[in-house]
Structure 1
Amino acid sequence: MEEPARYVLSGALPVQDDLEDEQLDRVSRHLGGIATVYLRHDEVAHTVSLRVSGTLMRDDVRYIEQRVERFAEENARAAAILLSEWNCETSELVVGMNWDAQCLIKLGAVQEQLAKLSEQYFDFLLRLEPANATARGDRLMSVSVETDNDRRIW
């Protein structure tokens, strides 16, 4: 059976201008029974700083993250990436407005792919153009790789 492990969820979330203290109190009450909860609203910057911590089972972690996701969907004005650490494993929790969150997830996947390419000593040039830009050919992506014998592979 799985043992409880140390858990910390931390970060900041941009929120709507009209966020009420009652909304933060409700989240604190829901999570306060299973973890130590710190939520503070900065009314000038319109952000909520959060830190949820404790020694928890994996199911409790899922519950906490789902509750924070729901709060973010209801109150965020943009997506945010929160740092989640459980059982010595670090991950990111993307929360907030669905479209923004999807963009952050896709950006993270692209960064991961580029990191894999650079680990293999590839040199690459990336050209990004707006969707409404005049097309210059049919290529979506072009890759050139130099090999030891100076032959190019397209």
Structure 2
Amino acid sequence: MKLKAFKESEKELIAIEELRAFLRIDSDVFDENLKQFLKAGISEFETRTNRILILNDYEVEFFNERVILAPFNALKNANFKAEFKTNSGVLYVSGNGNLIVNLGYEELPQDIKLWLKNYVLMAFDGASMPKISNALVSRYKVAFF
């Protein structure tokens, strides 16, 4: 599956000031590092859960595979030979084709936001994520149909 955002999102999931406050950093010296750690955390969460965090329109190309994405908001355009269904904000497609869909959270759930902040903290400190992290990821993971 190939997933591509149509435009770079201008909305920050977590403001840099909020990250600095969470990490108790008074200076903006580490801002670029924090942004990179946040970006890595978003990618990690999305990969492990099949959830897209950043609200945007995405082009999804798939060839003889299953695609599961959430939160699914709207189908904008479709050209596919596939089984297609949605259930409780989750998009399920199996086959091949091309879709343009709107995915992501209008408002990020607080537990995911906290997970991302902790990811940045652990990356900044060079530590590993605590076991509680796996429980949250498991709860948000979207399974195959």
* Higher relative contact order, structure no. (Cα contacts within 8 Å, ≥ 6 residues apart): 2
The TM tier, using the shorter chain, reads under 0.3
**Larger Rg, first or second structure (1 or 2):** 1
With the length of structure 1 as denominator, give the TM-score of the two structures: 0.27
